[in-house]
């Protein structure tokens, strides 16, 4: 069974809204970065976390909004084996040790790949 990574566009933070499409460009970029290597897991972009079934072969979930931080933390608690990453333009002061937070202002494709794959 092939491994799979989910990229979640859902989430609102300040003026950005996943429902309005503000995370679409990030979703395309992250999908491309994680799919560059032919041996990479399958990458699936989804609109909402509720649309996903979280069980193997899913190995990682990438959220594109700080507005999803609490859902990311809950997901990690429920599925300890899962890699959970949140990309945000405004990282919180108190970093969660279980959920990796990446700053959209400084993140590179290599950093995303190292965090997720």
Q: Set out the domains of the chain in order of their start, with CATH numbers.
A: 4-116 (3.40.50.2300)
Q: Which pLDDT score, from 0 to 100, does residue 22 have?
A: 85
Residues 61, 83 contacting (CB under 8 angstroms):
yes
Helix 109-116 with 24-35: angle, nearest 10 deg: 70
Q: How far apart are CA 8 and CA 6, in angstroms?
A: 6
Residue 91's pLDDT is 85
Instruction: Quickly list H helices, the chain.
Output: 24-35, 69-78, 109-116
Q: How do residues 61-106 score in pLDDT, each as one tens digit?
A: 999 999 999 999 999 999 999 999 999 988 887 776 789 999 999 9
Q: Supply the pTM of this predicted model.
A: 0.92
């Amino acid at each position: 069974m092939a491994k799979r990574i989910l990229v979640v566009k859902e989430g609102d933070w300040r003026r950005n809204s996943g429902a309005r499409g503000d995370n679409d460009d990030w979703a395309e970029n992250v999908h491309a970065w994680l799919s560059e290597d032919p041996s990479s897991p399958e990458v699936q972009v989804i609109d909402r976390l509720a649309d996903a079934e979280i069980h193997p072969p899913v190995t990682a979930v990438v959220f594109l909004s700080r507005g999803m931080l609490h859902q990311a933390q809950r997901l990690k608690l429920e599925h300890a084996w899962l890699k959970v990453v949140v990309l945000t333009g405004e990282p919180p002061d108190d970093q969660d040790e279980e959920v990796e937070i990446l700053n959209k202002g400084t993140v590179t494709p290599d950093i995303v790949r190292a965090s997720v794959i």
